[in-house]
Amino acid sequence: MATRPETRYRVRGGQPLQGTVFVQGAKNAALKMIAASLLADTGRTVLRNVPVIEDVRRAVELAQAVGASVKFHEAERTLVVDASELTSPVLPAEIARRFRASVLFVPALLHRLGEATIEGIGGCNLGSRSLDFHYRGFARLGATVDEGDATIRIKADRLKGAHLYLDTPSHTGTENLMMAAALAPGTTVIDNTAMEPEVLDVISFLSKMGADITGGGTGFVTVNGVEKLRAVEHTVMPDRIDAAVFAMAAAITGGELSLVGASLDHFGVVRWKLEQMGVEFSAQGAILQVRRERALRSINVITSPFPGFATDLQSPIMGLSTLADGTSYIRETIFDGRYTLVGELNKMGAKVEVADNAAIVHGPTVLKGAEVVAHDLRSGIALILAGLAAEGETVVAPGYMIDRGHASVAARLTTLGADIDVEMAVNTP
Ligand code: EPU
């Protein structure tokens, strides 16, 4: 049986963070751009400011698996993709099974090879809520979608423009259907599209490639299909989730940070919620200064699509609210069951309960170091934040969860005065 290195983070809390932090490039834009770069059948795409995270490495592996030549120059955060030859329509199980964004490679495979096969997907997936908007959209554009026991096979001799809609403004759904429509002759209109800043960055990338897309940011996107897309150079926008996590790191430790590459415009409601809690922001030219001096106040949060409170920051703000004076109410509306953090925070001495699909946080509590589990990326980074504020040592595992979406967490936090390290252990799965 193969062994794989497992990592865990050890955090000893109590240091107010100070200094300058460099916000990484946006994961949820970069992943889509890697997939979109396969739409260009000549030339080389250069993506800059690509975050050095595990999800990007998975996307690179997928692009390579279908035949693209991809080099990730990690030190330069630059990715070079040459997709002149795609050789396989199969997105292999060992990656696709644990990487939901695999479906983003379907449009390029359909346009380039006339078919795409996603392996390792459970039989119920097609009819389930999670990716149905994507498959329905491909079908309306003229593809046939066949669900096997553990495989989905999508075929299309030629996609054609059509009127599409999303039941809810799905972030990846919007991007994926735009990619599918970009090379489909005729006009595609997509109703109820997502307005996240990353969606706009993906539109700007596709437009540079030669796509004809209008209506970004309005909720209704029109795509006029073009003959060909070309390989271009693009700098990925900064990651607003990473930026807000560092703002919360300043807040939870009572410190002061200068964020390079953060824009308050991308925070949406998150800005106002953090200000209500007592976090102070000041934009100093291109630098965003964040500090927290007063006691934290409790907060009510309801997650919703941009510019509402980002679901990806629900866990981090739950961690922060354990220190706030009073009762906080946090309601998740995008992903059911995103409350796995509750049990872990309670291991650290927090008093959080879930009732009527909301988390109720009774603060303030003094957090105490404990061994805790990162059930997903965002609960993992929330536990790192909690560990920064806790007495004693907090051990967060598996580290892979955090490394999926946040780059060089230990190194960046250490520079700011945190006492954190990442350790390798060898586990047998
Ligand atoms: N949904 C469906 N059917 C679909 C697509 C979505 O029912 O075909 C439902 C989902 O189950 C969910 C809701 O619609 O309840 C919203 O899902 P959405 O499609 O907007 O999410 P996503 O595009 O799959 C992206 C990010 C997530 C982020 C959400 C919301 C990427 C790769 N992922 O997911 O990021 O939470 O948008 O903003 O862009 C993360 O970074 O930790 C993360 C989970």
Q: Which of 41-50, 330-339, 419-428 has the lowest mean pLDDT?
A: 419-428
Percentage of residues of the chain with pLDDT beyond 70: 96
Give distance in angstroms: CA of 55 to centre of ligand 1. Answer: 15
Domain ranges (residues) in the chain: 6-15+265-271+296-425, 27-235
pLDDT(122) > 70: no
> CA-CA distances (angstroms) from residue 367 to 199, 316, 348, 392, 411?
37, 14, 5, 9, 23
Distance CA 54, CA 406 (A): 9
Categorize the per-residue pLDDT at 123 as very low, low, confident or very high, splitting at 50, 70 and 90: very low
CATH architecture of 6-15+265-271+296-425: Alpha-beta prism (3.65)
Amino acid (1-letter code) at residue 34: I
SS3 label, residue 18: strand
Distance CA 241, CA 300 (A): 19
CATH architecture of 27-235: Alpha-beta prism (3.65)
Mean pLDDT of 109-132: 76
Atom of ligand 1 nearest to the CA of 169: 20
Mutation probe of ligand 1 site: the residue of 154, 166, 168 with most atoms within 8 A of C-beta: 168
Give distance in angstroms: CA of 14 to centre of ligand 1. Answer: 35
Mean pLDDT of 60-73: 98
pLDDT(273) > 60: yes
Q: What is the DSSP letter of 294?
A: S
Distance CA 373, CA 280 (A): 31
Distance CA 9, CA 196 (A): 31
pLDDT digits (tens, 9 = 90+) for 34-53: 999 999 999 999 999 999 99
Q: Judge whether 6-15+265-271+296-425 and 27-235 match in fold.
A: yes
* Residue matched to tokens 């409170």: 309
Q: Which of 6-10, 315-319, 334-338, 394-398 has the lowest mean pLDDT?
A: 334-338
Mean pLDDT of 89-103: 91
Query: What pLDDT sits at residue 306?
Result: 96
Mean pLDDT of 363-377: 97
Mean pLDDT of 218-228: 98
Give distance in angstroms: CA of 169 to centre of ligand 1. Answer: 9
List, by residue number, the catalytic residues: 124
Mean pLDDT of 218-224: 98
Give distance in angstroms: CA of 253 to centre of ligand 1. Answer: 30
pLDDT(161) > 90: yes
- Burial string for 362-390 (b: 16+ CB within 10 Å, else e) reads bbbbebbbbebbbbbbbbbbbbbbbbbbb
Atom of ligand 1 nearest to the CA of 198: 39
Q: Which of 25-29, 106-110, 147-151, 290-294 has the lowest mean pLDDT?
A: 147-151
Mutation probe of ligand 1 site: the residue of 165, 166, 170, 403 with most atoms within 8 A of C-beta: 170
Mean pLDDT of 101-113: 96
- Burial string for 328-358 (b: 16+ CB within 10 Å, else e) reads bbbbbbbeeebbebbebbbbbbbebeeeeeb
Atom of ligand 1 nearest to the CA of 306: 38
Higher-scoring residue by pLDDT: 10, 120: 10
pLDDT(316) > 50: yes
pLDDT digits (tens, 9 = 90+) for 189-198: 999 999 999 9
pLDDT(124) > 80: no
Give distance in angstroms: CA of 312 to centre of ligand 1. Answer: 10
Query: What pLDDT sits at residue 391?
Result: 98
Alpha helices for 279-416 (secondary structure H): 314-321, 341-347, 377-389, 399-403, 409-415
Distance CA 195, CA 219 (A): 7
Atom of ligand 1 nearest to the CA of 31: 32
> CA-CA distances (angstroms) from residue 218 to 193, 221, 304?
8, 7, 16
Residues with CB under 6 A from ligand 1: 27-28, 31, 101, 129-134, 168, 170-173, 196, 311-312, 334-335, 377-378, 405
Query: What pLDDT sits at residue 426?
Result: 63
To the nearest 10 degrees (0 to 180), the angle between helices 171-182 and 132-140 is 20
Categorize the per-residue pLDDT at 424 as very low, low, confident or very high, splitting at 50, 70 and 90: confident
To the nearest 10 degrees (0 to 180), the angle between helices 240-253 and 27-36 is 160
